[in-house]
Amino acid sequence: MRTARPARDAAQIWDIAVPARPGRLPGVSMAGFRARTTDPVDLGVIPYPAVTVVVDLGDRSLAVDDRGGRRHHGSIVAGLAASGLRGYGRAVECLQIRLSPVVAHAVFGASSELGATVVTLDDLWGRDAARAQEQLRAAGSWQDRFALAETALARRHRTGWAVDPEIAFVWRQMVTHLGGVRVEPLAAEVGWSRKRLWSRFRSQTGLTPKRAARLIRFDHAAHRLAAGHSAAQVAAEIGYADQSHLHRDVRAFTGATPSAVSAAPWLAVDDVAWAAPAYLSGTPLRATVR
């Protein structure tokens, strides 16, 4: 855990399961969560630079409120930069899957519609969603569930829409440089105009390049804050112009202050549930795309 504050100890709230082996599909991470208590769970969710699938393995025990005040019951898909989310439930048991936008575009084929929004898994997958959820609930172990989910994702990835290699390259550069990149040089490097890169990137990831870069940098900042570093130190280390710049970005993505984000309960599970970032591209990339 990043801090020693007992109130943020994820083990007090969740039993967390992770796959026993690396997945076959790069750009995908999974973790299983089972609440240790029947007390109500009420957690604000911090935006993350991946498309997140939450499969409710209970009897619609999970509810998620989006920024617009709409409540979604059961399994949901949250797009990149979906902010203002809160999860509720009793005796929650769920499988959470984080997908790089490069993978998510092929798996869901609806990237532009997913930008910063929440939809039900049924709306995206229809009958396939119901079938997958039945299989996952009937599985005898978390490892069986991970294998079933990976098979379903791999099948859809093979038959889905591939992200342009130029978009995958730009995403990789954003991740590598923690969001500290400019759009114009990236467009020039892949041989596209700024306008074309902007349009294609948004249609395939759901965000503009500028907001995607800000989200990646914010994610790094949020985890540094959760690790106990001061806002001033984080701002200086990550490349914000100053501490007030960090404050503005944190508030834009969460509606909260850096000190509130540093104590966010959901960040406390990351060291246990997510050993490596899920937002790395799952597409082999050339050094330069032209």
Helix residue spans in 21-80 (DSSP H):
none
Is the model's pLDDT at 160 over the cut of 50?
Answer: yes
265 shares its domain with 228: yes
pLDDT confidence tier of residue 4, bands split at 50, 70 and 90: very low
13 shares its domain with 151: yes
* Alpha carbons 209 and 192: distance in angstroms, whole number: 14
* pLDDT higher at 270 or 170: 170
**8-state DSSP, 28:** E
Domain extent for 69: 6-159
130 shares its domain with 223: no
> How many domains are there within the chain?
2
225 shares its domain with 248: yes
Give a yes or no: residue 245 inside a domain: yes
Give a yes or no: residue 243 inside a domain: yes
Give a yes or no: residue 18 inside a domain: yes
The helix/strand count (H/E) of the chain reads as 13, 10
Give a yes or no: residue 283 inside a domain: no
262 shares its domain with 171: yes
Give a yes or no: residue 280 inside a domain: no
138 shares its domain with 61: yes
90 shares its domain with 118: yes
169 shares its domain with 153: no
Give a yes or no: residue 221 inside a domain: yes
Rg (CA), the chain: 18
215 shares its domain with 187: yes
CATH number at 24 reads 2.60.120.10
Highest mean pLDDT among 37-41, 105-109, 170-174, 273-277: 170-174
14 shares its domain with 148: yes
Mean pLDDT of 159-168: 89
Q: Record the tokens describing residue 121, joined without a space.
A: 């898994």
Q: Give the relative orientation of helices 209-226 and 231-238 as an angle to the nearest 10 degrees.
A: 140
CATH number at 223 reads 1.10.10.60
Give a yes or no: residue 281 inside a domain: no
154 shares its domain with 32: yes
Is the model's pLDDT at 6 over the cut of 80?
Answer: no
Q: Record the tokens describing residue 175, joined without a space.
A: 């991740």
Q: Record the tokens describing residue 143, joined without a space.
A: 């490892």
Residue where a domain stops, chosen among 159, 189, 219: 159
Give a yes or no: residue 108 inside a domain: yes
* Alpha carbons 185 and 219: distance in angstroms, whole number: 23
Mean pLDDT of 196-217: 93
75 shares its domain with 183: no
Mean pLDDT of 74-84: 86
Task: Give first-to-last CA distance, the chain, whole Å.
Answer: 43
Please, what is the average pLDDT of the chain? Answer: 85
Residue where a domain stops, chosen among 121, 143, 159: 159
